[in-house]
């Protein structure tokens, strides 16, 4: 195909600015490697935030005049009130701040946006609507009652609202020192590819760019700039180049075709196994049964808990079932360790050490979900949620790509694509 002289100039200019931007992005990334934020999944519980804040000394070093200090005090009182009531109750009648029904998720088309002002506004609105009998206790500093002024369901609903504000405030305070690092993560924002891949008659719209409404051009422009930015190019420069090319040719198709592969690669990376382990094996020719070695746990209770949760989650009908095979010793075998106040994590994709919080009951819903999710990292599956800082709007933005996916959301489970990807990676 022959290109006009105008098209050649535009194409060369686009390549030049992309190359320059990529070099700049690489240097910024290298400079920021020394300041990586602590690992925090998007649905951490208030108790997990409290432990992390204590471990890092974040609240200890916070000024009493900080605008978010009242939010933290309010939320901690809510956590402690539930704990006070539970200490006075028998087993089986405990109040739970988290359960499957209370987990809402953060859908990709409704991303969460947060900064100090947003956290304060949400907290003020929530508090104003709270029953006076609850609010007065949470605003006080006296001893907490061992009973609730409302029935259990109404009471725990109010407590969840209070601790959610604590979660939002804690997360923002923990992120503030690392905003430049979070800004660099904006290239992981795959919404552009996600929505373009679902847009009906996309090529027709891109070819007929000048005939589109201003509203539709703006929507598509944002997505197109997104797949360009996935390659490390500054998003405003992507938009400028797109506008120049579209104004010259009347079409945005060439721009899309140039960057769609980059967007797809960035998207696919959230679902592909990395660093598969060497200590598992298929036990049938049809590859429906897989056996993964695991180091024996310290107690029979923990080992039973591991088996129950991991084997229950990592199965897919009659198509796939993973079983654990425990060994008394073995170099670098997967294992679970418990540390007081630890934020649950694995030491890398395909790593061997799952660290859990020793202060939490292993029977809590959120803890049972966590071991299922963290085991996915042992197998090499990455998280499929995105979080980054937008310096223009000065807000943190995050979302989960698929709420039904175990590696994205606490609402999720293993899916058919996990089985397909597992078979690809573990041959």
Write out pLDDT tens, residues 211-265.
999 999 999 999 999 999 999 999 999 999 999 999 999 999 999 999 999 999 9
pLDDT at 208 over 80: yes
What is the full DSSP assignment across 203-245? HHHHHTGGGS-HHHHHHHHHHHHHHHHTTT--HHHHHHHHHHH
Q: How far is CA 62 from CA 48, 122, 419, in A?
A: 19, 21, 46
Model confidence at 331, pLDDT cuts 50, 70, 90, reads confident
pLDDT at 119: 98
% residues pLDDT > 90 (the chain) = 86
Give me Rg for the CA atoms of the chain: 25
Would you say 205 and 256 are in contact if contact means Cβ atoms under 8 Å apart? no
- What does each C-alpha distance from 293 to 43, 317, 323, 333, 334 come to in angstroms? 29, 22, 9, 7, 7
pLDDT value of position 102: 77
If you average pLDDT over every residue of the chain, what do you get? 91
DSSP 152-176: HHHHHHHHHHHHHHHHHHHHHHHHG
| The predicted structure's pLDDT at residue 104 | 82
Edge to edge, the sheet with strand 395-400 lists: 112-114, 395-400, 385-390
pLDDT score recorded for residue 300: 96
Residue written as token pair 């670098």: 332
Predicted local distance difference test score (pLDDT) of residue 18: 36
**Averaged pLDDT, 353-362:** 95
Average pLDDT over residues 58-87: 95
Q: What is the pLDDT of residues 108-146, one digit of tens each?
A: 999 999 999 999 999 999 999 999 999 999 999 999 999
Long-range (24+ apart) CB contacts under 8 A made by 177-180 are 177/35, 177/37, 178/35, 178/36, 178/37, 179/389, 179/391, 180/32, 180/35, 180/389
pLDDT digits (tens, 9 = 90+) for 172-182: 999 999 999 99
pLDDT of residue 59: 87
Residue 147 pLDDT exceeds 50: yes
Q: Is the pTM of this model over 0.85?
A: yes
pLDDT band at 51 (very low <50, low <70, confident <90, very high): very high
Give residue 10's pLDDT.
35
Between 30 and 348, the higher pLDDT residue: 348
- Mean pLDDT calculated for residue range 60-66: 89
Give the residue-averaged pLDDT of 338-358: 96
Residue whose tokens read 């924002």: 189
Which residues lie closer than 8 Å to 143 by C-beta, 6 or more apart?
A: none
Q: How many percent of the chain have pLDDT more than 70?
A: 92
Among residues 133, 256, 238, the alpha carbon closest in space to that of 187 is found at 238
Per-residue confidence band for 409, with pLDDT thresholds at 50, 70 and 90: very high
């Amino acid at each position: 195909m022959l290109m006009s002289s105008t098209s050649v100039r535009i194409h060369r200019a686009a390549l030049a600015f992309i190359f320059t931007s990529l070099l700049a992005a690489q240097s910024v990334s290298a400079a920021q490697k020394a300041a990586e934020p602590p690992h925090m999944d998007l649905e951490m519980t208030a108790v997990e935030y409290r432990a992390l804040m204590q471990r890092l000394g974040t609240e200890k070093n916070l000024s009493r005049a900080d605008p978010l200090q009242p939010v933290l005090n309010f939320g901690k009182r809510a956590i402690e009130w539930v704990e006070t009531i539970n200490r006075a109750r028998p087993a089986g009648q405990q109040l739970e701040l988290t359960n499957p029904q209370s987990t809402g998720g953060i859908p990709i088309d409704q991303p969460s946006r947060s900064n100090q002002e947003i956290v304060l506004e949400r907290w003020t609105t929530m508090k104003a609507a709270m029953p006076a009998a609850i609010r007065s206790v949470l605003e006080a500093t006296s001893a907490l009652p061992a009973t609730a002024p409302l029935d259990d369901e109404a009471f725990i609903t109010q407590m969840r609202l209070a601790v959610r504000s604590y979660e939002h405030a804690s997360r923002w305070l923990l992120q503030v020192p690392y905003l430049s690092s979070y800004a660099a993560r904006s290239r992981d924002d795959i919404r552009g590819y996600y929505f373009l891949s679902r847009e009906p008659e996309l090529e027709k719209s891109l070819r007929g760019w000048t005939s589109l409404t201003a509203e539709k051009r703006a929507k598509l422009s944002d997505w197109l700039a997104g797949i360009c930015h996935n390659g490390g190019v500054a998003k405003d420069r992507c938009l400028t180049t797109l506008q120049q090319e579209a104004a010259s040719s009347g079409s945005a198709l060439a721009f899309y075709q140039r960057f769609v592969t980059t967007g797809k690669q960035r998207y696919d990376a959230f679902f592909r196994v990395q660093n598969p382990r060497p200590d598992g094996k298929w036990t049938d020719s049809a590859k429906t049964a897989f056996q993964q070695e695991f180091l024996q746990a310290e107690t029979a209770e923990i080992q039973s808990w591991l088996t129950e949760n991991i084997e229950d989650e990592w199965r897919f009908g009659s198509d796939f079932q993973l079983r654990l095979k425990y060994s008394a010793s073995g170099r670098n075998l997967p294992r679970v360790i418990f540390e007081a106040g630890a934020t649950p994590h694995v030491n890398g994709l395909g790593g061997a050490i799952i660290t859990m919080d020793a202060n939490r009951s292993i029977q809590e819903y959120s803890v049972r979900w966590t071991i299922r999710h963290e085991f996915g990292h042992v197998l090499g599956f990455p998280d499929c949620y995105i979080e980054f800082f937008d310096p223009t709007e000065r807000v943190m933005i995050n979302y989960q790509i698929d709420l039904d996916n175990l590696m994205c959301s606490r609402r999720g489970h293993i899916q058919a694509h996990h089985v397909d990807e597992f078979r690809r990676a573990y041959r």
